[in-house]
Structure 1
Amino acid sequence: MASSITRTLQRVWTWNRNPRALTALAATARFGARTYGVEPEPLTKSPFDSNIIRILRNEVDYQQEYAPPHQPETKFNSFTVEERRGEQVVTLKGKFGECEDLRIEATMFDGCEHVPACGDDSSGVNVRLHLSLIVDISKGEGENELEFVCSAWPEGLNVEKVYLLRRGRMAARPYIGPDFRDLSAKVQDKFYEYLDSRGVNDELAVFLHEYMMNKDRIELLRWMDSLKSFVER
């Protein structure tokens, strides 16, 4: 018993000589064994994560410095261009005359073909990028729509299909017409004139290729920046 009292007195004497020990004891008695008010240790990234972040940051800086995108166009001739952020589609809307509404949906580049290179490097090849267009021409709510499926190449526009659509009352298996190339040359020419008068022509194809080149850079930068932000968290 005496030895127990002696050990207790020794601890009290030690704590009285050491105020920090008393403070720690009081905090423990009040809050339990947990320690409060201590800043958490910052999370450290693994070497692998740090390397990914560094590479992505360098790539974003490089793209912004050497191939910076510009602000997307909002108008082209009579069309209003609606940028679809984060999507692979852009929409153009316009009117022709008093009653026709035009709506064009163009994809980002969805294909290519290789062609022989011209000039001195005749042994090489060039790549022609391709994008697809759907052109809808309507005349009033609930009326029929004429729809053209087109291919846009860097220098021009080709019509692939022509449909006459009856929105909301299509047959289960409608006849959609022949392949456009199976039509006579005269009919094909008239359809190209029809589209050209409405601004759907080679000039539009050239614009869309330039637009999509810029959009491709914008979306790439957004994608890399989002990846970097995710790894950094």
Structure 2
Amino acid sequence: MSAFAALRTVARVGPARMVSGMRVALAARPLARAAPVTVARAFSVSAGRFGSGTTDIALAAKLQEELQYEQTQLAEAGDATPEFIKTFTEEGVWAINDTRGNDEVTLTRKFGDEHIRIMFSIADIQTEDDLEGEHEGEEDEAPPATAMPIRASLSITKTSGPGAVNVDMICQEGSFSIENISYYDSAATGTELTAEADWTRRGLYIGPQFDTLDVAVQDAFDAYIAERGISDSVAFFIPEYAAYKEQQEYVKWLGKLKKFIEL
């Protein structure tokens, strides 16, 4: 179980990418008795070079085509850090914690005696094809340019005392929409990314749906998290960074898969 899933156990639909395979037709076996020996010997050499199956070469070729295309896209974008990341980090508010190969990203910051963390996953990204499919048949309405929505999990703990506040949010169209707010007596229970902590959280009351709270309470809590830097600029940054990271991870995935098929 991934860290993000362990924290909130959210069902996720990842980006759908498929590589079409091709069947490799084998030549009909000749009637002569000596021919099968020759055919078997030639096949063993080919299979030894590309795995053990007859479809390996075709799959590797398709993966290579996709890999070249994606690498071309990255080359056109250049190796420099994207401007939106530079702008975000230069503000000096949030630190980006991104481990290559993982699908989660964490933003952290200090606010007084509070430690604030926002987690989101690239597995929530919808591909361009998905978005076009959702809008199929709708005339005069182009699919949105940004893949939405993306779930985010906010946690707030204090060095001056125990406890943790967790907030489940949806990042969409440059703003955060709160789903619910949970409070845990133990900071470890509310923030640790372990199976034990997840099991403990499952049995605890997680609070009401946010939109069922009194409007004045909703407004006050919106102001509370906004003061802590959970702003529109962060809501715009999350999906943009998620798309950037997903592209990087996808290219690496293609290369690793192709290399394995060719072993």
Tell me the equivalent position of 2:180: 161
For residues 155 and 98 of structure 2, what CA distance do their matches in structure 1 show? 18
Equivalent of 1:83 in 93, 98, 105: 98
Q: Which residue of 1 aligns with 2:71?
A: 64
The match for 2:216 is 186
2:241 to 207, 211, 215: 211
- Deviation of residue 191 (structure 1)? 0.8
Give the partner amino acid of 1:87.
N
Gaps of 5+ in 2: 1-44, 190-199
Cα 1:126–1:145 shift into 2, 3 Å: same
Higher RCO by CA contacts (8 Å cutoff, separation 6 or greater):
2
The answer to whether the Cα contact below 8 Å between 2:49 and 2:262 also exists between their aligned partners in 1 is no
> What is the rounded CA distance, in whole Å, between the counterparts of 1:44 and 1:140 in structure 2?
59
Quote the Cα distance in structure 2 between the aligned partners of 1:159 and 1:132: 10
How far is 1:166 from its partner?
Answer: 1.2
Identity score, percent: 25
Distance of 1:90 and 1:221 partners within structure 2: 18
From 127, 138, 144, give the equivalent of 2:157: 138
Q: Give the one of 108, 111, 135 matched to 1:96.
A: 111
Report if the CA contact (8 A) 1:114-1:125 is conserved.
no
Distance 1:51 1:141, change over 3 A: farther
C-alpha distance 156-217 of structure 1, shift in aligned 2 (>3 A): same
- The 1-side partners of 2:247 and 2:203 are apart by 41
Equivalent residue letter for 1:219: E
Query: How far, CA to CA, are the matches of 1:208 and 1:88 in structure 2?
Result: 13
The aligned residue for residue 122 of structure 2 is 108
Deviations 1:48-77 (A, max 9, x none): 322222221121111111255765848644
Please name the residue that 1:15 is paired with: none
Q: Is residue 2:161 matched to residue 1:147?
A: no
Cα separation, partners in 2 of 1:123 and 1:133, compared to 1, 3 Å: same
Q: Is the partner of 2:68 in helix, strand or coil?
A: helix
Q: Bigger CA drift: 149-158 or 123-132? A: 123-132
Aligned residues: 189
Alignment CA distance shift 1:172-1:154 (3 Å): closer
> Which of the residues 55, 74, 92 maps onto 2:62?
55
Instruction: Return the letter of the residue paired with 2:239.
Output: H
Matched-pair contact (CA < 8 Å) for 1:84–1:91: no
The one-letter amino acid of 2:162's match is E
SS at match of 1:181: helix
Moved more, 106-115 or 192-201: 106-115
What is the Cα deviation at residue 225 of structure 1? Answer: 0.6
1:214 aligned counterpart, secondary structure: helix
CA contact (8 A) 2:114 2:159 kept: yes
Shift of residue 142, structure 1, vs aligned partner: 6.2
Rounded Cα–Cα distance in structure 2 between residues aligned with 1:195 and 1:114: 30
Separation in 2 of the partners of 1:111 and 1:213? 7
Q: Does the CA contact (< 8 Å) of 1:145 and 1:166 recur in 2?
A: yes
CA distance in 2, matches of 1:141, 1:55: 57
Q: Hey, what does 1:44 align to over in structure 2?
A: 49
Distance in 1 (CA, whole Å) between partners of 2:230 and 2:236 is 11
Per the alignment, residue 126 of structure 1 pairs with 143
Larger % of helix: which? 2
Q: Using the alignment, how far apart are the partners of 1:50 and 1:89 within structure 2?
A: 33
